[in-house]
């Protein structure tokens, strides 16, 4: 029978191998966060149970340990997401600098709430914990990029530029 880890596409496996190589062999599970990110990217931005099982198999970990990582960190998605993922921070520094107004503009422009995806599958809006960029509050992450010192007008520009 096919090993579960064979569900991971070969290019993704090669990339995971580069992460595994950074750790001593007995610590290959240290690559779990990178492996989940790589597999998620290769699967259109979200993780299925089958893919998490495949990562567990590949890193010789119990599946439950992989699920725990995937559910703990907000960067992993366990349901399909839109082509663009907007993660808006609402923690204290961002809140004090107007994240409420930013969230309100995003909801109004997109016609969806936090944790939702536009019906055309284009954009997912998420609320996240501190992104570690408090000095530039309010902040949101757009794909891999950080958008800082947000204002409602800046939100409009960012949305207008997304395909």
Assign 82 to helix, strand or coil: coil
Q: State which of positions 119-138 bind ligand FES (CB under 6 A).
A: 130-131, 133-134, 137
In degrees, rounded to 5, the angle at the alpha carbon of residue 155 between the alpha carbons of residues 149 and 157 is 110
Least distance to ligand FES from the beta carbon of 151, Å? Answer: 15
What distance in Å separates the CA atoms of residue 100 and residue 90, rounded to the nearest whole number?
7
Q: What are phi and psi of 83, to 5 degrees?
A: -60, -35
118 binds ligand FES (CB under 6 A): no
For ligand FES (CB under 6 A), the number of binding residues is 11
| Residue 163 CB contacts under 8 Å (≥ 6 apart), including other chains | 83
Interface residue with ligand FES among 36, 66, 87, 89 (CB under 6 A) is: 89
User: Residue 120, exposed/middle/buried by CB under 10 A (0-12, 13-18, 19+)?
Assistant: exposed
Nearest to ligand FES of 5, 93 (CB atom): 93
Interface residue with ligand FES among 5, 30, 48, 93 (CB under 6 A) is: 93
91 binds ligand FES (CB under 6 A): yes
Residue 122: CB atoms within 10 Å: 13
Contact 93, 130 (CB under 8 A): yes
Interface residue with ligand FES among 12, 32, 123, 139 (CB under 6 A) is: 139
Interface residue with ligand FES among 92, 104, 121, 156 (CB under 6 A) is: 92
Least distance to ligand FES from the beta carbon of 102, Å? Answer: 11
Provide the binding-site residues for ligand FES, judged by CB under 6 A. Answer: 89, 91-94, 130-131, 133-134, 137, 139
């Amino acid at each position: 029978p096919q090993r579960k880890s064979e569900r991971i596409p070969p290019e993704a496996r090669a990339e995971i191998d580069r992460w595994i190589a950074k750790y001593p062999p007995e610590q290959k599970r240290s690559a779990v966060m990178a492996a989940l990110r790589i597999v998620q990217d290769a699967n259109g931005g979200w993780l299925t149970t089958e893919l998490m099982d495949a990562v567990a198999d590949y890193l010789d970990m119990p599946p439950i340990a992989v699920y725990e990582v995937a559910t703990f960190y907000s960067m992993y998605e366990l349901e399909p997401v839109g082509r663009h993922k907007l993660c808006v921070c609402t923690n204290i520094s961002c809140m004090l600098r107007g994240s409420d107004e930013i969230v309100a503009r995003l909801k109004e422009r997109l016609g969806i709430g936090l944790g939702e995806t536009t019906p055309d599958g284009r954009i997912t809006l998420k609320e996240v914990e501190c992104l570690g960029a408090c000095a530039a509050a309010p902040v949101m992450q757009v794909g891999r990029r950080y958008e800082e010192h947000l204002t409602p007008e800046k939100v409009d520009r960012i949305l207008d530029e997304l395909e």
